Structure 1
C-alpha cells in the first residue's frame, strides 16, 4: 500500500456508477495526489420516534436508504436514528421530502464531503493510503483511506491572476504572474517595432482564443493555489460567464477537469486539484482593517506602491487603453498581478490561510467562517459524547444576553493612569466555569454535579469540550509566542476570540442565550469585583471596558513607580481571584489580569453637551521604555467620517493640552485663520460609506446622499451602490461631491470640525478664539 502525507486543496463528492464517491486532491512533497473513495455514504439524523414515518415516506418515493438506530440523542434527550444514503441525489431529495412532511432533521445542512473530513479530524494535513495509479503529472490513490496528520505543512505553488474587461464583462486581457509565468494574454494584433518588454504579451485574435490560451498556460504551470483580488466574485465569475456564453470548456482543474462556479449568497469557485484564494477575504479573515480594501488602497498602505491607473474612472481609461494603447493596458494588468503577489508575500497571507486550516479544518479559501470553524472543531467531539447538534432555535428561549461590561467614565485630565487588562477574558471565563454547549445540557440534566451559570444555566463539571479546546489553543499560542511565530500566535488569538462571538451569534446552531449571558454576566461580575478590590487598595478606578480597568495614580509618581504599582496590583488581583474561585466554586481560576500600560497624561471627555463621562472615548500619552506616543480611542483621529482637518487639529490640540495648555488659544486662532485663508483646502474632504442603496433614502437624507443626488441632476448616468465610499465637501453652494476645486463654506467647517474639539477640552482649560478670525461664529 502507498503511504504519503498530503494537504487538502479541493474536495468534491460525486454520484457515480460505483455509488457515492469522494474525490479529494492533495498537495504533497512529491506532487499532486488525487484520492478516490467509492461506496461512501451521506447521512443526517432524525428522532427515533419519526423513524417509521420516515421509512414509509422514503419507500413511497422509491429512495435508496437505510435508517439505523443509534446511541446518539439530541439536546432534548430524544434518541436518534441515522438516515444513510448511497447517493447525493437521494440524500438531498430525502431531506426535502421529509421536511415537507413535517419531520425534523438534524445536521442535514452538513455537506457530506465536509462531514467525511471533519469526522476524521482532518485539518488540512492527512496520511494517505490506497492503491497507487501513476499519471503523467499527478498520482491517484484508489480505495483511499485518510487519517489526520496534524504535523504536515505543505510547500504550495501559487499563481496570481487578474483580468481586464469592459462593463459588460467582455474580456480584454488576462495577467498571469507566478509559477514560472510572467505574461499577459491580450486580444489584438502584435505591436511591431516597439521596445522589448521584460515580460511576455501573448496576442490572441478573440475571446475564444484568449480563454483557450488561459487554460493551456494554467495547466502548463500547474499551480496549487491561484490568488487574486476579488478573484472569486469578479475575475473567475466573469471568466466562467464568458466561457459559458462562448461555448469554451474551462478545463482548468488537474486531471483535465473543469472549473465550476456556483452562485448563491456568495460565489463558490471549484477547480479540482487547485484552490482559489482571494486577497480581500484573507485579509479580513486575518482581521486586517483598511479604510478601503481596494487593491489601490491596500497596495499603497502595505507596499507604498500604486496601481498604474489611478484616475477616478479607471474603467473608462482601461477601455481607452485597450482601443488605443494595448501595451499600457498589459503593463497595468501585469502590475496588478505583481501587487497581489507582493501583498501576499509581505503579509504572509498564504501562510495564515494554511495555519487557519490546520487549526480549524476550514478550507483554505473559506471566507469569514467563524461559525463553520466552531462546527468543524466541535461537532465530531459532540458526537463522541453521544449527542447530535441542535437546530437553530431549539432552545426555545427569546431573551437577549447582555453585551460586555462598560463603566461610565469619570471625565477629566489625569497625570498618571495605569491600565490593567484581563488576558483573553471571555475564553478564560469559558475555561474556568466550564461554559460549553454540551456542558449546559449535561449540567441541566445532572445539576448535582454542575456549576451555576446565569439565567438558570448549569454547567457540568465533567462533560464538556470547549474548556479543553481553549486550554490547548492557549498552550499552542504560548509556544508560538515563545518561538516568535507571530503568524501562528495571531491565528490562534483570532480563533480564541471568536468562540464567544460564535456562541453569541443567532446564526450558529449552538447559540443559546444562557451560554452567552453566562459569559458576559460573569464578565460584569468579574469587572465589578476587580474594581472593588482595587479601590480597597486605595486607588480610584476611573473607567472600565469589557476586560480593561483604568486606575488613577498619584500625580507625583514617576513612571517606574507607576509600573511597580501596576505589576503589584495585577499580582494581587490574580491571587484574590484564585482564592475567590476556589472558595466559592471549588474551581481552578484561569483568569489572568496583566499590567498593560501607563498613560501620562490621560484624558477622558464628557458626552457632548453633557457633564457625564462618555464611553469608549479617550486619549492618552502612552509611556514605553523607549518611546511615548499619543493614543486615541473613539475620537476623530481614528474615524474615517471626519476630515483630515479635524484629525490634524485634534492631534495638535492634545499635544498642547498635555504639554503646553497655555498655547491652545493661539493654536485655535491659528487654525481658523489658515482655514479662512484657504491654506487647509486640501484637508476639507469628508468620506462616508453609503449604508444603503440610494433608492432607500427617502425621508432623512444625510449630506453625503444629498451630494450624490445633486450631482445626478447634471450627470444622470452617475450612480453609486451600497457600501461605496462617498467623498464630499461643504461649499458656498451647499454640499457637493468632491471634484477638486470648490468654493468652500469655511464657517461650516469651523462649526463642525473645530468647535466640537475645542468644546471637548473647554472644561479643562478656558478656550477663547479671536472673534474677527471666527467671522462672528459663536463657538460656545
Structure 2
C-alpha cells in the first residue's frame, strides 16, 4: 500500500452490525477520498478497585466487553482497567449502567472518531494508505492506516442562499463558487432566457430540489457557506424536501443530508458527508470579529460600503413576493447578490484560512463553533496517556470559582500623555513561566521534595519536569512569532485565540481538567505581577492611573512629544523586564517568559467616573493617538462602541470628545445638538437596537423597553395576519415615544425628545465636561435673546 497525503474535511462514526465503522472524508492532491476504518473498539477506564463490581454489573446487563489490566493511573494515582467494546452503542449503554451505580467510566464521553485521530496526533493533515476502490467522483480506501502529517490544501467553496415565501415555500436557490455561479428559479422559461444563462428555470419546487442535488453532484464543493445557512437555509431545505418526498442528496457519493435538532430545538445541525457547512456569523464570531449588527446587510455595509436596500423583514418579504410575481430575473439577481456578498466576506476576512489553520493546530472540526475545551482535550489527552494517566470525569458539583483578572481602581481625570504598557499574552506566559499544568499539579502534589516543584496558589504545587502545557504554549508562541514575521495573519490569529483560550479552559467547569488550583494559580499570579509592576513604575517617578488584566496605564504628568514619550515607555519596559527576569531566577529558580511591551502613547486621555459617582470607572476610557499622520480617538467600554446606545449618543460623544481633546469650543456644539434633538431634526439617529436574548414570554418581571416594543410589534403582526417575528428572540429596533417604547415598524406616537436629551446626551456630556469645568445643564439651556 502506498501512502499519500490528505486534509480532513469530515469525520463520522457508527455501528455496522457487530463492529464499528469510522468514515473520514479527505481532500487529496488528486481529489476527494473516503477513508474507511473498521473494527476500532470504543474504550473507557474504571479504577481497578471498582473493576470487579463493574464487570459484575455489565455481565448482569448482558453487555459484551473485554477487560484489560493497564499500567495507566487516574488522577488519584490509582491503577485503572480498560473496558473495550465491539460497538459504540454497547459502550454507551455500559457507561450509563455504571453511572447509575456510582462508578466512573473515565473518558467514556470521548467520541470514537476523535479518539482515533487524537491518539495519532492527527490535526487536519494526515498521511494514509489503504485498498483503493474507484467510485464515481472519488476514491474509497478500505482497511486504512493513517498517521499525522503537515499537509494542507485550499478547499473549494460554494455560497448558498435561498429565497422563499413567508410560509416557507421555495422560490429560488442561489449558488456562487469559483467554478459556477447560478440561481435555480421556479418559473416558466422566458423567451429571452439566453440573456440570463446563469438562471436555471424549473417548473416547481420538486424540480428545484432535484436541481440542487444535481448541482452538488456536478460541481462537488468541499465547503458550503452562507449567512444563517444552517438554522435558516438548510432547516427549510430539509423541511421542503420532506414535504416533496425527495431526499436531499448533497453529500459526497450521493449520500443524504442528515438534520439533527439540538435538545432545546432552537438550534439545528446539518451533516453533509464529505463536506462541511460553515455559517458566516458563527465563523466570524469564533475568529473574534464583532459588529453592531450581524445582519448580512449591516456587515456588508460595514466592510464594503454596500449591501441591500431592504432591511425590514416585512418590506423584504413584500419585495421578494412582488419580484417573484413580476420580475423573477430581479429576484434571481437579488438572490445571487447574497451569495456573492457572503463569499466576499469570507475572502476579505480570510475566514476559511483561519478555520483551516485552527484545525491544523488543534484537530477540531472545521465547523466546530467555540471548541476551546475540545481543542485542549485533543492536544492534551494523548500526551497524558503517554505519561501513564487517564483523564478525570467532568465533575462540576465541587466547582470553586477562581478570582478574575486584576482590575485596579482607576484615578479619574483628563490627562496629558498617558502610556499603556501591556504584558504580551500574560496568562500564557504565566503558564509557561510557573509551569502550570494539570499533570504538573497531580505530580507536584505527590512530590515531597520542594526543590522539584514550583508553588502556585490555593494549595497548587507544580512539578518542574513532568508537564506538557508549558511546552505546548511555547511551541505555539514560537509558531505565532514566525507567522507574524511571514505576514500570515490567519495563522497568527488562530494561534493567538487558541493560546489565550487555555486559561479559560482550565477555569471552566465544563472542562474535565478543571481544578480551581490551576485557574487560581494563573489569575492570582497575574494580580501579583500587575501590583509589583505598578510599584516598579511608580518607583521611577510616574503615576499609574489604571490597570486592567495585563495593561498598565501610566501618566507622565505633563505633555510629551511622541519621541520623548516613546523613549520613556521603552526605558520602563527594559527596566521592568530585567527586574522580572532577575527576580524569578533568584526567588524560584525559573526562567521568565514574562514580557511587557510599550503599546501606546495617548496625547490626551480621559478616565471617567462611574456615572453619578466620584469613583473612577473600570474598563471604560478614551484616548487620543496622534502619530505618523494618523489622528484618532480610541474608545473602550464607552457608549460609542456599545450597541445599546443610539447613533445620536455615539455621534455626540465622538464629536464632543474630539473638540475637548483638541481644546476647541464646545458650548455652541452642545447647545445646537440639544436644540436640534428637541425640534425633531435627528429622527434617524434616535433608534435603539437591542437583542432579545430569551423567548418573549420569559420576560415577566421588570419588562425592559425593547421587550415592550417587541410585544407591540408582534401584536400588530398578529392583527395583520403575519407570522410573529419576536417570540423566540432576535433583534428589535425601537424608539422612545411619549407613550413609551414603540417598534420602528409599528410607530404610533410622537417621539419623546426630552428622553433623548436626558438619557442619551446628558450622560455622555457628564462623562467629560466636569473635567474642563463645565456643566451640561447650563450649556443645554436655550440661548436668551437681548429683548
Query: Which TM class, normalised by the smaller chain length?
Result: over 0.9
Aligned to 1:372: 374
**Secondary structure of the structure 2 residue equivalent to 1:105:** coil
CA displacement at 1:237 relative to structure 2: 2.4
Aligned to 1:541: 544
Aligned to 2:36: 36
- What whole-Å deviation, never above 9, does each CA across 1:143-187 have from its counterpart, x for those lacking one? 11001002x111221122222233443322222221532222222
1:99 aligns with 2:75: no
Q: 1:770 to 1:2 in 2, by over 3 A?
A: closer
What CA distance in whole angstroms lies between the structure 2 residues aligned with 1:302 and 1:585?
Answer: 49
Alignment of 1:749-768 (within 5 A): 749-767=756-774
Q: 1:556 to 1:269 in 2, by over 3 A?
A: closer
CA displacement at 1:294 relative to structure 2: 2.0
Q: 1:168 to 1:100 in 2, by over 3 A?
A: farther
Moved more, 234-243 or 421-430: 234-243
Contact 1:426 1:500 in 2 (8 A): yes
Contact 2:697 2:727 in 1 (8 A): no
Q: 1:453 to 1:333 in 2, by over 3 A?
A: same
Equivalent in 748, 768, 771 of residue 755 of structure 2: 748
Contact 1:10 1:270 in 2 (8 A): no
Q: 1:41 to 1:601 in 2, by over 3 A?
A: same
Contact 1:179 1:223 in 2 (8 A): no
What CA distance in whole angstroms lies between the structure 2 residues aligned with 1:216 and 1:440?
Answer: 56
Aligned to 2:79: 79
Alignment of 1:313-352 (within 5 A): 313=314, 314-352=316-354
Aligned to 1:488: 491
1:381 aligns with 2:388: no
CA displacement at 1:22 relative to structure 2: 1.6
Moved more, 126-135 or 9-18: 9-18
What CA distance in whole angstroms lies between the structure 2 residues aligned with 1:425 and 1:200?
Answer: 54
Alignment of 1:107-186 (within 5 A): 107-150=107-150, 152-186=151-185
- What whole-Å deviation, never above 9, does each CA across 1:429-480 have from its counterpart, x for those lacking one? 0110011111111111114221111111111111111100000000000000
Q: 1:17 to 1:618 in 2, by over 3 A?
A: closer
CA displacement at 1:645 relative to structure 2: 1.3
1:64 aligns with 2:64: yes
1:732 aligns with 2:738: yes
Aligned to 1:27: 27
- What whole-Å deviation, never above 9, does each CA across 1:179-226 have from its counterpart, x for those lacking one? 5322222223223356822512231x3332222221111111111222
What CA distance in whole angstroms lies between the structure 1 residues aligned with 2:136 and 2:668?
Answer: 78
- What whole-Å deviation, never above 9, does each CA across 1:230-251 have from its counterpart, x for those lacking one? 2222222222233234331223
Moved more, 163-172 or 350-359: 163-172
What CA distance in whole angstroms lies between the structure 1 residues aligned with 2:260 and 2:728?
Answer: 23
Contact 1:641 1:688 in 2 (8 A): yes
CA displacement at 1:744 relative to structure 2: 2.4
Q: TM-score, normalised by structure 2?
A: 0.94
Aligned to 2:409: 408
What CA distance in whole angstroms lies between the structure 2 residues aligned with 1:772 and 1:3?
Answer: 78
CA displacement at 1:268 relative to structure 2: 2.8
What CA distance in whole angstroms lies between the structure 2 residues aligned with 1:761 and 1:341?
Answer: 43
What CA distance in whole angstroms lies between the structure 1 residues aligned with 2:40 and 2:716?
Answer: 63
What CA distance in whole angstroms lies between the structure 2 residues aligned with 1:258 and 1:701?
Answer: 45
Aligned to 2:395: 393
**Secondary structure of the structure 2 residue equivalent to 1:298:** helix
Aligned to 2:441: 440
CA displacement at 1:666 relative to structure 2: 2.2
Alignment of 1:201-240 (within 5 A): 201-203=200-202, 205-240=203-238
- What whole-Å deviation, never above 9, does each CA across 1:70-117 have from its counterpart, x for those lacking one? 111111222111111122232222222232333211111111011111
Moved more, 706-715 or 462-471: 706-715
CA displacement at 1:358 relative to structure 2: 0.3
CA displacement at 1:766 relative to structure 2: 2.8
What CA distance in whole angstroms lies between the structure 2 residues aligned with 1:722 and 1:501?
Answer: 30
Equivalent in 244, 251, 254 of residue 252 of structure 2: 254
What CA distance in whole angstroms lies between the structure 1 residues aligned with 2:749 and 2:763?
Answer: 24
Q: 1:23 to 1:719 in 2, by over 3 A?
A: closer
Contact 2:739 2:749 in 1 (8 A): no
What CA distance in whole angstroms lies between the structure 2 residues aligned with 1:200 and 1:741?
Answer: 43
CA displacement at 1:596 relative to structure 2: 0.6
Aligned to 2:526: 523
Aligned Cα root-mean-square deviation (Å) = 2.2
Q: 1:734 to 1:21 in 2, by over 3 A?
A: closer
Instruction: List alignment gaps of at least 5 residues for structure 1.
Output: none
What CA distance in whole angstroms lies between the structure 2 residues aligned with 1:194 and 1:271?
Answer: 32
What CA distance in whole angstroms lies between the structure 1 residues aligned with 2:274 and 2:480?
Answer: 32
- What whole-Å deviation, never above 9, does each CA across 1:666-716 have from its counterpart, x for those lacking one? 221121222233322221112222233222222212222233334555554
- What whole-Å deviation, never above 9, does each CA across 1:234-273 have from its counterpart, x for those lacking one? 2222222332343312232222322212222453322222
CA displacement at 1:424 relative to structure 2: 0.2
Aligned to 1:655: 658
Aligned to 1:458: 461
Instruction: List alignment gaps of at least 5 residues for structure 2.
Output: none
